[in-house]
Amino acid sequence: MVEANFSFFTFHFSLFLCIFAVRMKKLLLIITSLLMTITISADDAQNVESRRRIDHLCELYNNDLNDSLIQQVPLDLAFHKENQCWEHYYETWMHLVNTYTFMGKVNTALQEVKQMHADATQRNDRYGLALANYAMGNAYLNMGYLDESINCYQQSLQLISESNVEPSTLNDIYSYYCDALNDQKRWESMRDVTEEWRAFLDNLAQEELKKKAGKNNSDVWYAYYYLACAQQHLGMNMLAEAKADIDEAEKRQDLGRVFISLSVLYYRAQYYLQAKDYQRAYEYNTRRLEESQHVDDMSSKLLIYQQRAEIMKGLGRYNEAAEMYRQTYHLSDSIYKKDARTQINELNTLFHVSELDMEHRLQHGRIISITIAIVAVALAILLGYGLWMNRRLRRKNEELAEARDQAQEALRMKSDFIKNISHEIRTPLNILSGFSQIMSERGDRLPDKDRQELSNGIQENTNRITKLINRLLELSDSHSRSHIERTDTISANLMCQMAIASSGVADDKRHQFHFDTTLTDDFTIVTSEHYAVHAIDHLLDNAMKFTPEGGSITMRCSQQGNTLEVIIEDTGCGVPQEKADTIFEEFVQLDEFQTGVGIGLSLSRSIVRRLGGDITLDTSYHSGARFVLTLPIIEGTSVAK
């Protein structure tokens, strides 16, 4: 009996536990469901509150309640950040930047937008970066930095295409982007942007039609689109297309946007102005002025005044046009002064530090400042001394390097000179030795013709050595004498004939020689006959040396103002352009295989310059070489070297 009762009790207790477990499980499911519902409701509540805050901020923004907006933004930013509502977070920040921009506080706007851009970059939030670039573009556009603003708008559109952006924001970006392109007169680029804008609006209109939303917001945005198209077509003087754009915008001006109706009037006046229908342009411009007395800012009035002045000029009402231009100037000046005052006040706000705070900082930083100043002065002295020593050492090294190069060049020229002079003397001496040996051994048995040729050879090589020695003596003389006395009155033609005879150029059968003069034989100059003849002789000798057989040498003599000009040109190898200056240096030879030691041209120029004239190379002559020798005609006693 006891066992039966125990079994009965055990059965009922087990049944109770099972029923309790089932009911507890149901209870836990109910509790879990309630908690999830509460959590979802909390998230929904946060999203609703975030949406409410951004709508309220947009209302403040659209109604220009700037002070209230600026006070509200820090609270909203903290809320969005705490609840990780990042889209509303960056939209709130964007409204703050735009508010500062349109208040004229562009420095504050740029400071805010740089922080916004850095924050979005750190979070790798592409939507935040897109809004930051858009707000930065507005700031740059307000400052007149068109290239920078256009670049920002481009980056914003590129980033925003990858995000779920508010249609109104994207519409604003397109609108300001077109304004910047219009200000820069980049109407071809503006056409591409408006095509993208139109595709966006068409897609948006299709989505609104599917949703059957009733009032279509896209109609308002189409109005802004057509206004931008009107800007573009007026800029390109496509008047028919511009008129159609203005008509389309006018159909949508009753949507509650005052800006649209005012813009329609302005562009209608601009259309008739460009169409030269000045009377109708005047009517629309007048309506624009009358309807905007209480809503326009000074920048808009400036555009209207400028337009009105052009219309008055077109109507022939020049006095009124001049008055409008005067008002335009004063309004522009007022805008500039207002902007300047705004900038000054903004800078004072940004960088203002109270006098007490400044004094406190000065007291705490005075010792550090003095220490830093002492260290800086010491470092500056050490650095300055080091730089001075470095420059001095570098200058000494450069001087030593230059002296070394000069010494090496002098040594090379000396070696070349010794080699050339040895060759120039050895060659005729060998010839003289050979001819003398023949004359001594076979003199009596030689025919008269051969004896005469040997005699001429001996005479020619003797003259060659004599001429070389004379040139060396003249070179030495040019180094020792600082001036040449000019006391000889001589016929210019006679002087040239003496140089021709001295050089033997007229008797040289290898070349054709021509002498032309425009002077009479009684035309005289005061110079040194000896040195002047020698200078011309050296030039003729140089021409003979470098003119090949069959070539020609020409000498011309003429008067050029107060100067006697002697031109000697040949049909030889000429002088390269890069050697035009160096050929007058001592011991310089263009052809190492030619006879001579390279002192003829240098000696000629030295002589002529001491006679008050000069010798130059005419680089415009390309059939050989042409040297121009000039001597003064006016009498003088001496000229320094």
Using the predicted structure, report yes or no on whether residue 628 has a pLDDT greater than 90: yes
**217-228 average pLDDT score:** 82
If one compares 593 and 452, the residue with the highest pLDDT of the two is: 452
pLDDT of residue 588: 60
Q: Which residues make Cβ contacts (< 8 Å) with residue 315, sequence separation at least 6? A: 278, 279, 282
Output the CA angle 33-35-37, nearest 5 degrees: 70
pLDDT of residue 499: 92
**99-119 average pLDDT score:** 87
Q: Mapping DSSP to helix (H, G, I), strand (E, B) and coil, where does residue 630 land?
A: strand
Mean residue pLDDT across the chain: 78
If one compares 582 and 602, the residue with the highest pLDDT of the two is: 602
Backbone angles phi, psi at 212, to 5 degrees: 55, 55
CA 225/CA 244 separation, integer angstroms:
13
**628-640 average pLDDT score:** 66
pLDDT tens-place string over residues 300-321: 777 888 888 888 888 888 888 8
Q: Which residues make Cβ contacts (< 8 Å) with residue 183, sequence separation at least 6? A: 141, 146
CA 289/CA 287 separation, integer angstroms:
5
pLDDT tens-place string over residues 476-525: 565 555 678 888 899 999 999 999 998 888 888 888 999 999 999 999 99
pLDDT of residue 311: 87
pLDDT of residue 385: 83
584: tokens are 């007058």
Measured CA to CA in angstroms, residue 417 lies from 237, 258, 292, 592 at distances of 79, 96, 94, 11
Pairing of strands 552-560, 512-517: parallel
pLDDT tens-place string over residues 428-446: 666 766 666 666 666 566 6
Domains of the chain: 46-164 (1.25.40.10), 372-480 (1.10.287.130), 484-640 (3.30.565.10)
Highest mean pLDDT, choosing among 262-271, 396-405, 444-453: 262-271
At how many degrees (to 10) do helices 258-274 and 298-315 cross? Answer: 30
Percent of the chain with pLDDT over 70: 70
The neighbouring-strand residues paired with 94 are none
pLDDT of residue 312: 85
pLDDT of residue 471: 62
pLDDT of residue 161: 67
Is 511:544 a contact under the CB 8 Å cutoff?
Answer: yes
What is the 8-class DSSP label of residue 19? H
CA 400/CA 406 separation, integer angstroms:
10
Highest mean pLDDT, choosing among 1-15, 192-206, 212-226: 192-206
Backbone angles phi, psi at 617, to 5 degrees: -100, 125
pLDDT of residue 33: 56
pLDDT tens-place string over residues 609-627: 988 899 998 888 988 999 9
If one compares 429 and 560, the residue with the highest pLDDT of the two is: 560
**540-548 average pLDDT score:** 88
Q: What is the 3-state secondary structure (H, E, C) of 147-210?
A: HHHHHHHHHHHHHHCCCCCCHHHHHHHHHHHHHHHHHCCCHHHHHHHHHHHHHHHHHHHHHHHH
137: tokens are 């573009």
CA 402/CA 321 separation, integer angstroms:
72
User: CA nearest 543: which of 621, 632, 490?
Assistant: 621
CA 409/CA 187 separation, integer angstroms:
66
Using the predicted structure, report yes or no on whether residue 256 has a pLDDT greater than 70: no
Place of tokens 């320094």: 640
pLDDT of residue 559: 92
If one compares 55 and 164, the residue with the highest pLDDT of the two is: 55
Using the predicted structure, report yes or no on whether residue 215 has a pLDDT greater than 60: no
Amino acid found at 351: F
CA 220/CA 224 separation, integer angstroms:
7
pTM above 0.85, yes or no: no
**206-214 average pLDDT score:** 66
**385-398 average pLDDT score:** 84
Using the predicted structure, report yes or no on whether residue 636 has a pLDDT greater than 50: no
Pairing of strands 512-517, 626-632: unpaired
What is the 8-class DSSP label of residue 547? S
With cut-offs at 50, 70 and 90, classify the pLDDT of residue 631: very high
If one compares 442 and 541, the residue with the highest pLDDT of the two is: 541
If one compares 105 and 553, the residue with the highest pLDDT of the two is: 553
Percent of the chain with pLDDT over 90: 12
